[in-house]
């Protein structure tokens, strides 16, 4: 995927995230109409479904947490983020790739799943798959959840 497409995908995701972060609460009830069929645009906007298919805090936190890695694809409706390979300049003989699945519309600990892949250079200079500690996936998930909580608290503090 070209750099321009990656930047476009990130910007589209950010626009969707921004749009739905200020959306109304569907739990407030009502259909957006007055009793005799007259339309109430304020209530209709508040009852409109969100423009993103997953929890906005988890989505944003995932992008923030993995921002140091190049983005291969991001689907805000399906809740899938796939990074491209990233090699730490201090360890150029190994590289990592991550896939994040956001599994819920609520901010929950089981609402995010991360898989990290690792490759190391062999003696011929090619890349071969290497095992990754299961704790690595959990550590990235915990970092995403911590960031998501920070984002949620920052919006609560702004409103209060």
- pLDDT tens digit sequence for 109-136: 999 999 999 999 999 999 999 999 989 9
Task: Write down the pLDDT at residue 158.
Answer: 67
| More confident site: 4 or 119 | 119
Query: Does residue 90 carry a pLDDT above 90?
Result: yes
Query: Does residue 89 carry a pLDDT above 70?
Result: yes
In Å, the largest CA–CA distance within the chain is 77
22-52 confidence digits (pLDDT tens):
443 433 333 433 344 444 444 433 443 456 6
Of the candidates 122, 77, 76, 74, the residue with the CA atom closest to the CA atom of residue 98: 74
Instruction: Tell me how far apart the alpha carbons of residues 20 and 45 are, in angstroms, rounded to a whole number.
Output: 11
């Amino acid at each position: 995927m070209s750099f321009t497409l990656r930047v476009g995908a990130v910007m589209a995701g950010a626009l969707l995230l921004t749009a739905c972060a200020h959306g109304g609460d569907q739990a407030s009830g009502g259909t957006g109409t007055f009793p005799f069929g007259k339309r109430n645009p304020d209530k209709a906007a508040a009852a409109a479904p969100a423009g993103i298919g997953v929890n906005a805090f988890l989505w944003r936190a995932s992008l923030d947490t993995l921002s140091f890695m190049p983005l291969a694809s991001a689907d805000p409706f399906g809740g899938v983020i796939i990074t491209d390979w990233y090699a730490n300049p201090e360890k150029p003989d190994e590289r990592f790739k991550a896939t994040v699945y956001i599994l819920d519309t609520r901010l929950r600990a089981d609402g995010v799943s991360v898989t990290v892949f690792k490759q190391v250079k062999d003696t011929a200079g090619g890349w071969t798959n290497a095992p990754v500690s299961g704790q690595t996936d959990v550590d990235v998930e915990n970092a995403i959840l911590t960031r998501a909580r920070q984002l949620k608290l920052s919006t609560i503090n702004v409103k209060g």
